[in-house]
Structure formats: structure tokens, C-alpha cells
Amino acid sequence: MNENNNQQHKPLRKIEELGEFGLIGYLTGNIQVKNKSTLKGIGDDAAVLETDEKVSLITTDMLVENVHFDLSYFPLKHLGYKTAVVNFSDIYAMNGIAGQFLINIAVSNRFSLEALEEFYTGVKMAAERYGVDIVGGDTVSSQKGMILSGTAVGYAEKEKIVYRNGGRPNDLLVVTGDLGAAYAGLLILLREKETFLANPNHQPDLTPYAYVVERQLKPEARKDVIEWFYQNDIVPTSMIDISDGLSSEVIHLSEASGYGITVYEEKIPVAQETAAVTEEFNIHPVTAALNGGEDYELLFSISQKDYDKIKDVPGFHIIGHYTEDPGAFLITNANEKVEMKAQGWNAFFDRQKKKP
């Protein structure tokens, strides 16, 4: 009797104690795959299902107003575009090509028909740009705000699927594009919002910050990189897209493989525009790259035998390598070895991303 009472009065745990990835592991740790057609379930950028000729990739992503986006500075057309692109990016992170997209939306009655039309215009623009068919979805009412959920379906040949766990010692770690720009754009948008709230007559001039603001409001997925892999007969040993910051993604790859990864600070690519913004906010540009997130660049590893194929490719940056000993470490410009920490976006702790 007393034992039952103790169980009934046991304090309930808060979700934020686990964080986003801890929660996923807690809820899904005991799920067992039963169907032979399920080649990969939970634990990567997309699920992998076997079909007759190719395997299917399925991924989903949810965005919630005032948690993932703020409509005071986020145009609805851009939001629709981003909602689609972040899903496509997960398909490309598996070395697949996105083919279909479903979009679910819950909105309150404060949204007009014209507002929803503007949102869907952005979704259609993304689908057109990436050659993806919009094949379904659902629209329902919400008591407050906007909730979005997208599901992307993609395809790839079974032997070309790339998982997070494939990296091996001496593999080279490569990142595309530049990092930290989306976070820099967010810093600017949040600053301008605060200025506007203090003075509604303020008219922001975002022209000097066009590059970083666009990286935040209208990101692009790296389909072009996957097409380059196909054309040059390269299959990365591991891959992930950078949605939560470089540190978090490096740790994901390291833990998935069971091997270590060393990253060199001097090799991390940061655009001049990003560095200029971080200087304004007294933030080290590499800090923005490590912890900012939402760049949607690809982080992948390759065997050293493929080095000659990628060494001169514009926009490919070799930033480190896999090691025998586990753990993810950063070699600073001062030649100090620092353990990398996952300090990027946490959906159950941070609110409206990281504020300055």
C-alpha cells in the first residue's frame, strides 16, 4: 500500500532535463523494427525503407510559432520555403534525392486566407526549385498561433545510402559552404525587433546584412552536393546536415560511429559577412559556427582514397579527421585540445533560438 503511494507521489520529471535528443532516446529506445522492408528506423536523418528498385527515405520536421520562428520578422512566404527546405535537407543528408512532400498546418483564426496563401506560395517555390512534388497534407485549426509539420519522401540506390555511423579512423571530415551565417542573421533580426518594440517608428535597414539575414530566413539545402557525388562516383562514409550547430553534428557522427573526431579551428569556414556581424555582437565567429545552427550545410566524411577527387572542389572544406580514440575534440588556433560540447539549439530548453 505504502509502495503504491510512493509511486503515485513520485515527482514528475521535466522534459528539459533530458533535452531534445535525450527525449528522443528515452521515448524510442525500446522500439524494435519488425518489417524486413524497414532498413533503418529512428536514429538518423531519415528512415530508410526498401522498395523494388530503390530504397525510400522518409523524414519529418515540426516548427512551432514562438519556439522555432517569430512572425514579427519572419515573412510567411519565407517560412513556407524554409519549412520545405529543412525537410529536403534531411533527405540529402542520407545521400538521397527528395521526390515528394506533405505539409500539415495548424493555425488560429487570427490568420487570414491571404496569409495562408502567402505561406503556401513559399512551399510551392521550394518544391519547384528542388524538383519535389507536393502530394498531400492537412490543415486544421489551432487555439493559438501556428504549428507546422512537413514530411519529405526521397529515394536512393541501396548501396549509396549514407548513414551517420560509417566514419572510420583516418577518414577525412569535410563541410560544405560556410557556417554561422544563419545565427548571425538571427542576431540581427532579434536586435532589430527589440529596437522596433522600443521605437515603432524605427525603420530597419537590413541591406548591409543581406547575406546573413537571407541565410536565416531563406536557407537552401545542398542538393547540388549530392548531385556532384553521383556524377563523380563518390559515396561518403558518413554524413549529416548542420541544423543544430557544428559541435552537435560532429558529436552525433562521433557517437554513432564509436570513433573519435578531431576538428581544427583554423579550418572552419566562416564568411566575411558573418565575421563582421559577430564582431558587432562581441562574439567569436567560430563560436557562431560551432553553436549557431540552421546553416543546413552538409558535414560528411570520406576515405582518404577520395582525397584527390574533393581537394580542389570549390566550397568543400576539410576541417578534420576521424581517430581511433572516442570523443569529439577541437584543436584551437593556440594548439589547445578542447572537448566539443553540444551547445546548439535545444527545443525543450531554448526559446526562440539563442538570443544575444
Instruction: Tell me the CATH number at 118.
Output: 3.30.1330.10
- Global confidence as pTM: 0.85
Residues 123, 272, single domain; the answer is no
What is the domain range of residue 329? 164-339
**CATH number for the domain including 235?**
3.90.650.10
Helix pair 272-280, 210-217: axis angle to 10 deg: 100
pLDDT at residue 42, rounded to an integer: 66
Amino acid identity of residue 127, one-letter, is A
State whether 173 and 190 are in the same domain: yes
- Within this chain, do residues 22 and 110 fall inside the same structural domain, yes or no? yes
What's phi and psi for 152, nearest 5 deg? -110, 140
Which of 129, 149, 48 lies closest to 96 in space, CA to CA?
48
Taking the C-alpha atoms of residue 269 and residue 180, their distance in angstroms, rounded to an integer, is 9
| Same domain for 172 and 76 | no
CA pair distance 102, 132, nearest whole angstrom: 10
Residues 121 and 174 grouped into a single domain? no
Residues in the chain: 356
What the block records as the C-alpha cell of 297 is 550545410
CA separation for the pair 188, 175 (Å, rounded): 25
Question: For residue range 204-215, what is the model confidence (pLDDT) as tens digits?
Answer: 889 999 999 999
DSSP letter, residue 69: B
Last residue of a domain, one of 144, 160, 176: 160
Q: Is residue 49 in some structural domain?
A: yes
Please indicate, yes or no, if residue 4 is contained in any of the structural domains: no
Q: Are residues 295 and 210 in the same domain?
A: yes
Mark whether 186 and 328 lie in a shared domain: yes
**Residue where a domain terminates, one of 108, 131, 160:** 160
Cβ proximity of 352 and 66 under 8 Å = yes
CB 330 within 8 A of CB 265: yes
**267 falls within a domain:** yes
Q: Do residue 183 and residue 81 come from a single domain?
A: no
**5 domain-assigned:** no
Please give the torsion angle defined by the CA atoms of residues 12, 15, 19 and 25, in that order, rounded to the nearest 10 degrees. 80
Residues 176 and 309 in one domain: yes
* 109 domain-assigned: yes
Ramachandran quadrant class, 125 (left: phi over 0; alpha: psi -120 to 50; beta: rest): alpha
Does pLDDT of 15 surpass 70?
A: no
Q: What does the buried/exposed string (b/e) look like for 206-238 if buried means 16 or more CB atoms within 10 Å of the residue's CB? A: eeebebbbbbbbbbbbbbebbebbeeeebbbbb
237's CB contacts (< 8 A; 6+ apart) are 162, 166, 167, 168, 171, 300, 301, 302, 303
| 155 and 206 co-located in one domain | no
Same domain, 69 and 131: yes
Q: Is residue 209 part of a domain?
A: yes
Q: Confidence class of residue 149 from pLDDT cuts 50, 70 and 90?
A: very high
349 in a structural domain = no
The model's pLDDT over 20-75, given as tens digits with 9 standing for 90+, comes to 556 556 655 666 766 565 677 767 767 777 776 788 899 999 999 999 999 999 99
Whether 116 and 71 have beta carbons less than 8 Å apart is answered as: no
Q: Please tell me the distance from the alpha carbon of residue 270 to that of residue 338, in angstroms, as a whole number.
A: 20
In a domain, 344, yes or no: no
281-327 per-position pLDDT tens digit: 999 999 999 999 999 999 999 999 999 999 999 999 999 999 999 99
Number of independent structural domains in the chain: 2
The separation between the first and the last C-alpha atoms of the chain, rounded to the nearest angstrom, is 52
> Is the domain of 193 the same as that of 283?
yes
